[in-house]
Amino acid sequence: MALHKILKIVALLLGIAGVIFLAMIIAKGDEVVIATGEGVDGFLYIAYITFAITIAFVLFFVIKGIFSGNIKNTLISVGAFLLVVLIAYVLAEGNPMTMQEGKMLSASSSKWVGTGLYAFYILALLAVGAMVFGGIKKVTK
């Protein structure tokens, strides 16, 4: 329970600091902020701190859950995900192309972008299929 209270206090302090920095940015006006970037640094530091705390807690609880639970099921899930990524990598094409800024996107980078898209599509189809299957199974019982 003490950890919960500490986290509530930290969240409150970060929220107050974020509101203060936001008020400073608004008070300076759009033109000053766009021209100089003044006031944005504090706002970004709050975001970085919040992100770091979130990542730390996610990693802690994931590692804790892996070692306290059934590691065999965890490894099977990770293997299935890697299989999906491998299938997506095989399906993706790697064509170099010119981006909007005039820079070139290499064939390797293009292939990895395609891999990410195909992996997303495969995982989305699996998720929708699981929901449909679960719904049909629930209705038939």
Q: Say if residue 134 is exposed, middle or buried (CB neighbours under 10 Å; 0-12, 13-18, 19+).
A: exposed
Note whether 94 and 107 are within 8 A (CB). Answer: yes
For range 38-64, the mean pLDDT: 87
Under the banding of pLDDT at 50, 70 and 90, the label for residue 36 is confident
pLDDT tens for 9-25 read 988 999 998 888 888 88
What CA–CA distance (Å, rounded) separates 115 from 121?
A: 10
- Quote the mean pLDDT of the chain: 89
List Cα–Cα distances, 29 to 5, 23, 44, 46, in angstroms. Answer: 36, 10, 17, 20
Asked if the model's pLDDT at residue 113 lies above 90, the reply is: yes
Asked if the model's pLDDT at residue 1 lies above 70, the reply is: no
For range 87-111, the mean pLDDT: 90
- The pTM score is 0.59
